[in-house]
Amino acid sequence: MIRILLALVILSLIGCVSEKRTDESRVYFAGEIVNPTSNTVILYKGDSTIDSVTLDEQNRFVISLDSVEEGLHHFYHHPELQYVFLEKGDSLQIRLNTVDFDESLVFSGQGEEVNNFLLSVFLANEQQEEVVYSYYGLEPRAFGHKIDSLQDIKIRSLKELNSEGQLTEDAFEIAKAGIMYSSYIYKEAYPFYHKKKKGYSDFPELPEDFYKYRDFVDYNNQELTYLRPYYNFMKYHLGNLAYMSCQYGCDPSGLEESDQLHFNKHKLALIDSLVEQKDLRDNLFRNVAVDYLLKHDSEEYCESFIESFHKRSGNNKHIAEITSLYEGIQNMRENHFLPEVTVYDTDGAAHSIRDVSRNKRVVFYFWSGAEKGHFTNISRRVAELKVKHPQYAFIGINLRTDEARWQQMLDTYQLDKSEQFWAKDYENVARTLIVYDPNKSIIANNGVIVDAFANVYKSFK
């Protein structure tokens, strides 16, 4: 926690030397990307593309906007996404190394203060996950005091930064919301983690004021819709409300549908009744749908869920994606033939994954060169499985990596090239094979699906 506090204090000092904001409406967003994983940078406001530019020979880019809708934006450099808060008159530069995308990212220039602060809160939240997990064994009041203390440290740093007069009111409110909603997530999660950590059969009895912050939750703040702590809080909060209402308000003996279907219908109903802001509403409905469908309940229950989804969110902007996912899952059920998805070997020859699994038992697993930690872990796990389960051929399919880098990684890590394939059309392969979970695997026998939703860690003893 000392490192987190020092980082926040240092960032506060950075704000003291920034230039005074101008009244010009033009905005510049520029920067340099070391070890780029794509040749483009795309700037978004919500789901809308504001501009897309190509990196030059020095891996630099410049986005110049005559005007900007002030507030939270995102920039995307495949496959990574991160915040950028833009206001009129900003002249903001970034520098990052894709090897450590978030950790290496630094903002400078007009608008740096709030962006560096938002980034520091984002990184602090990641770093303190293990610390907070150790608190879940505490009794409710002690846990609440710990979380409030972490929150107060960040709020004090924000106020110190703001005292220099560098932040606009909107920038201050966004940064404050990032801090507050991050803390709220921990409290929403507390009863579940406490019960699990203690091995209790029942949830702990909470003080009356434990969820006092819920009185101030804004379910319809458009400016916060794409702020990660706010959105993640909404997912946890609505799930918590739905679970508790099911736990204490529904008679299990009277249910004619699966627990998962019943619970997720509760979540749909809650979103429908509490959330009016369309972007947030659509995104939350989408999250529930994806989460439920990927649990691949029975065909009958999935159909019932989709009917409920259409009834409550028929004009959802993600409807095509949800429909495609639903249909894709039906196509990936047990005893169906593998779809005719094309992958490429190291010589550039195209193969259908159905043909790759012809006349043998195969486990397909997935990895990306952009996620080195996952690549290391899954490679180690597959090496173990090869020894324990020699009856299977373990076939790696690479996603979201350019071909040259993929080939280089095969050589560097001395992978068996006969067992490795590259997906040229990542979006189509991921959508068709339903690759949402990085640890997903597909077990097939002679081109026929045995289990399309296996897990390399959980499905093999």
What pLDDT, on the 0 to 100 scale, is given for residue 255?
A: 52
* 7 and 148, same domain (yes or no): yes
* 326 and 347, same domain (yes or no): no
* 388 and 283, same domain (yes or no): no
Domain boundary among the residues 331, 361, 381 is at 331
| Residue 13: inside a domain | yes
* 6 and 36, same domain (yes or no): yes
- Domain region containing 433: 342-455
* 158 and 75, same domain (yes or no): yes
Q: How far is CA 208 from CA 75, 152, 170, 211, 343, in A?
A: 42, 22, 32, 7, 57
Helices then strands, counting H and E runs in the chain, come out as 15, 15
Digit-by-digit pLDDT tens for the chain (461 residues) are 434 444 444 444 344 434 444 557 889 999 999 999 889 999 999 989 999 999 999 999 999 999 889 999 999 998 788 989 999 999 999 999 988 888 999 999 999 999 998 898 888 888 888 899 999 999 999 999 999 999 999 999 999 988 877 788 999 999 999 999 999 999 999 999 999 999 998 999 999 999 999 999 999 999 999 999 999 999 999 999 998 888 766 765 545 556 789 899 999 999 999 999 999 999 999 999 999 998 877 889 999 999 999 999 989 999 999 999 999 999 999 999 999 999 999 999 999 999 999 999 999 999 998 778 899 999 999 999 999 999 999 999 999 888 998 999 999 999 999 999 999 988 899 999 999 889 999 999 999 999 999 999 999 87
| Residue 337: inside a domain | no
**CB burial of residue 132 (10 Å; 0-12, 13-18, 19+):** buried
Total domain count, the chain: 3
* 149 and 100, same domain (yes or no): yes
| Residue 301: inside a domain | yes
* 278 and 392, same domain (yes or no): no
For the chain, the distance separating the N- and C-terminal CA atoms, rounded to the nearest angstrom, is 38
* 158 and 36, same domain (yes or no): yes
| Residue 273: inside a domain | yes
What pLDDT, on the 0 to 100 scale, is given for residue 97?
A: 93
What pLDDT, on the 0 to 100 scale, is given for residue 253?
A: 53
Domain boundary among the residues 303, 331, 359 is at 331
| Residue 190: inside a domain | no
* 59 and 90, same domain (yes or no): yes
Give the residue from 424, 446, 420, 296 showing the smallest Cα distance to 366.
Answer: 420
| Residue 203: inside a domain | no
* 20 and 133, same domain (yes or no): yes
**CATH code of the domain in which 83 resides:** 2.60.40.1120
Contacts of 182 (CB under 8 A, 6+ apart): 121, 125, 151, 229, 233
| Residue 35: inside a domain | yes
| Residue 229: inside a domain | yes
* 40 and 149, same domain (yes or no): yes
**CATH code of the domain in which 358 resides:** 3.40.30.10
Question: What is the rounded distance in angstroms from the CA atom of residue 61 to the CA atom of residue 115?
Answer: 18
Domain boundary among the residues 150, 178, 206 is at 178
* 92 and 167, same domain (yes or no): yes
What pLDDT, on the 0 to 100 scale, is given for residue 360?
A: 94
The residue whose two tokens read 């392969």 is 429
What pLDDT, on the 0 to 100 scale, is given for residue 25?
A: 80
The secondary element (H helix, E strand) that includes residue 263 is: helix 259-274
